[in-house]
Amino acid sequence: MSPTIERDIPADELDDVRSGRLPARYDHRLQDVFLEQVDRRMRPGVRILDIGSGRAPTIPPHDRPAACRYVGTDIDADELAAAPPGSYDLELAADATRPLPVDERFDLILSWQVLEHVESMADTLNAFRGALDEGGTLIAQLSGSRAAFALLARALPHRLRVLAMTRLLGHVEEEKFPTRYDACTDKDLRGLLVGWSEVEIIPFYRGGSYFLFSDPVLKAYLAYENRVAARDLRGLATHYLVVATR
């Protein structure tokens, strides 16, 4: 998935939508849906914790409101160190499954394509809750456990998965991290978010980009995904956007 979310960039899949290779639901970026949620909560002085942001803060410095405090965390200190200078007001090498190692609270927690990597979703959401101020909001984008690409990833050893993604899809090796897919479904997430004051989980059916390497494979995959999308079978969604207020 893409790193720092810049605005006004067309979806990678747009040409394939125009040529009819992909259906219309691929015509916009998932990043823009995420940004819509972020924008509603941006205001001067907002305190943001970006979880698993590593080398690419989710919101670039030039897109943050005045006096925004922006803290970046990642389990891997080298990833944080690789971020462009000025990306963060504070960098914390910390495991998202554990309580935040500083006594600071936030208005917003952002997490872009990180939750499928954590060992325990329950521990992670508890830690997030502890780091949010009363009324603060978590906005997290993650991949679904039952997406076809996730099932393949779970069946393959990590090294083989990386090899397949770099060779077949041209993904960058350094941007591939081991996935766990713990509780990455609509139902499991809702169960773990009981007790939060407001919860919205938006499902997406957007796994086609993993199968663009072959027209017959893509066609077979889309025959399946189109049915899942038409029936809005949320348990089989490829991605979820979680918006949860403490």
- In the complex, which residues of this chain contact ligand SAM (CB under 6 A)? 1, 3, 52-54, 56, 58, 74-76, 79, 95-97, 112-114, 117-118, 177
- Closest to ligand SAM by CB, 140 or 243: 140
| Contacts by residues 191-195 (CB-CB < 8 Å, ≥ 24 positions apart) | 192/121, 192/122, 192/125, 193/125, 193/242, 193/244
Closest distance of CB 35 from ligand SAM, Å: 13
- Closest to ligand SAM by CB, 37 or 53: 53
- Closest to ligand SAM by CB, 7 or 219: 7
- Closest to ligand SAM by CB, 53 or 229: 53
Candidates 220, 223, 209; CA nearest to 169 is 209
CA distance readout (Å), 204 to 100, 165, 210: 30, 21, 14
Both structure tokens of 87? 């990306």
Closest distance of CB 75 from ligand SAM, Å: 4
Closest distance of CB 176 from ligand SAM, Å: 8
Note the helical H segments in the chain.
Answer: 14-18, 30-39, 77-81, 121-131, 148-155, 158-169, 186-192, 215-230
- Closest to ligand SAM by CB, 36 or 174: 174
Closest distance of CB 216 from ligand SAM, Å: 29
Q: Which residues of 105-138 are buried (b: 16+ CB within 10 A; e: fewer)?
A: ebbbbbbbbbbbbbebbebbbebbbebbeeebbb
Asked whether 131 and 105 are in contact (CB, 8 A), the reply is yes
- Closest to ligand SAM by CB, 79 or 186: 79
Closest distance of CB 47 from ligand SAM, Å: 19
Closest distance of CB 240 from ligand SAM, Å: 15
